[in-house]
Amino acid sequence: MSTILLVNSLFLLLLLILNGIVLFLFKNRGEKQEVKQEPAAAPAPSTPAPQPTTEMKEVTREQEEKLRDDAILANIGEGLVIIDKYGKIITFNKAAEGMLGWTAKEAIGRDLADVIQIDYQSSIKVSKEVVGNRSSLYFIRKDKTKFPADISTSSFVQDGNILGTITLFRDVTTERNIDIMKNEFISLASHQLRTPLAAIKWYSKILLEGDTGKLLPEQKEAAESIYTSTERMIDLVNSLLNITRIESGRIMVEPKPTDVKQMIEDIIKEIKIRYMDKKQSITVNVQNEIPVINIDPRLIRQVFVNLLTNAAKYTREKGSITVVMSKNDSDVITEVRDNGFGIPEKEQKKVFDKFYRGENMVNQETNGTGLGLYLVKDIVEISKGKIWFKSQEGQGTTFWVSLPLAGSPEQKGVLSLET
């Protein structure tokens, strides 16, 4: 018995020793390989490779990481410029060199404004919102040529301290050109459509007016249907044209002293006539003395015509629409409130999108292009106003438009919107 125990223990001991030897051998081999991968400046072959110490291993890893980071910076497609808190450039990547025409050597240490020059005059507004920190500007290269750039900026923070600013930018010439082509296409198509539309409209009107002979009741109905359908198409074409004009940035804004209260009262008169059958009550409630302000009346008129028409359209018979006008230190605020069908909550963020129409409304009132609010928002924004709303499905909707007391800035342009 004891012999067996002895043999077993010896056997186990042997296994342990063998394990130890094997482990020792493998460990050494791994390390030997790491040392071999170090770059060029290797010691002369005759001297044995020094044993790797802990310090050396960390330096190696740092160098490797730096090389990798440099490779990343050099290879990303976007231009990257980092400035310190004094506004001096501390990083300028390869893409930035390519796009701006300055070498990193020339750029580092200089003020950002020297190297990235901005042509504000050419910078057309393409995206109406500044999403996060993105914006679109024309950059001027070292050789004085320029290109449109999409820019995003953020703070450069380390250990809770702001050390500078990081700017990422991209040459968006291609995207800009595509946008221009798209607008030109829509514009061209819309104009081409207008000729046959005018023909249909005129001929159906001529039929209706009896110029070709008296019509039977059914013929009259048919001609009326043709006429109203054509009017809808013409409205759509006009809206499309207006949108392309606004988006091209060439629209003119001609502010004039305007009595907004009077404008709204005039519009309400027209709406009452047009929606007479619906027997809705439309009232105006003026809370302060509303001053005359410098805004473009043609543009702003479209805003209120649209909001009030929507209120009438999307409110049932005998419903009520209230307009409240007030002013604060900086703006004239107009509220248009209805107790109509409302906008479903899940659709509320799409309200100002092109072609948006409330799903709950398309069945009720098919006449609508969905371009109205998109245009309205554009107009309000180029007039330096704001628009917002709240709504509850089944209860009603309220829109607010604020227009600055200081007025809208004039915008020189070559186009005006067609009403």
Partner 1 sequence: MGFLDNIQVMLGKKQIDEKPAVSAQNQLKKKILVVEDEKLLANALELKFLHENFEVFKAENGQIGLEMAQAHTPDIILLDLMMPVMDGKTMLHQLRQIPQFKYTPVIVLTNAGEIDNVRETKFYDNASEFLIKANVNPDDIVKVVNDLI
Distance CA 166, CA 90 (A): 10
Please say whether the beta carbons of 280 and 323 come within 8 A: no
202 vs 355 by CB, closer to partner 1: 202
Which residues in the 378-417 window bind partner 1 by CB under 8 A?
414-416
23 vs 198 by CB, closer to partner 1: 198
Smallest distance from partner 1 to CB 195, Å: 6
Smallest distance from partner 1 to CB 241, Å: 8
- What token pair was written down for 114? 């020297």
- What token pair was written down for 196? 């046959």
Near partner 1 by CB under 8 A, which window of 138-146, 189-197, 269-277, 288-296?
189-197
Q: In terms of C-beta density within 10 A (0-12 exposed, 13-18 middle, 19 or more buried), how is residue 308 classed?
A: buried
8 vs 225 by CB, closer to partner 1: 225
**At residue 375, what is the residue type?**
L
Smallest distance from partner 1 to CB 194, Å: 4
**∠ Cα 301 302 306 (to 5°):** 120
Distance CA 66, CA 330 (A): 53
Neighbours of 151 (CB within 10 A): 20
Does 195 participate in binding partner 1 (rule CB under 8 A)? yes
190 vs 398 by CB, closer to partner 1: 190
Does 194 participate in binding partner 1 (rule CB under 8 A)? yes
| Contact with partner 1 (CB under 8 A) among 123, 165, 229, 238 | 238
Q: What single string gives the DSSP state of each residue in 361-419?
A: HHTT-----S-HHHHHHHHHHHTT-EEEEEEETTTEEEEEEEEETT-PPPB--SB----
| Contact with partner 1 (CB under 8 A) among 59, 113, 181, 188 | 188
Does 250 participate in binding partner 1 (rule CB under 8 A)? yes
Near partner 1 by CB under 8 A, which window of 186-194, 280-288, 302-310, 354-362?
186-194
| Contact letters for partner 1, residues 196-235 (x by CB under 8 A) | xxxx-xxx-xx--x-xx---------------------x-
Please say whether the beta carbons of 375 and 419 come within 8 A: no
The residues near 251 (Cβ < 8 Å, ≥ 6 apart) are 245, 382, 411, 413, 415, 416, 417
- Coil/strand/helix, residue 168: strand
22 vs 198 by CB, closer to partner 1: 198
110 vs 194 by CB, closer to partner 1: 194
Does 18 participate in binding partner 1 (rule CB under 8 A)? no
Neighbours of 357 (CB within 10 A): 18
Which residues in the 55-114 window bind partner 1 by CB under 8 A?
none
Q: Where are the alpha helices (DSSP H) in 211-296?
A: 217-247, 260-274
Does 256 participate in binding partner 1 (rule CB under 8 A)? no
Smallest distance from partner 1 to CB 273, Å: 18
56 vs 234 by CB, closer to partner 1: 234
Binding region for partner 1 (CB under 8 A): 187-188, 190-191, 194-199, 201-203, 205-206, 209, 211-212, 234, 237-238, 241, 250, 414-416, 418
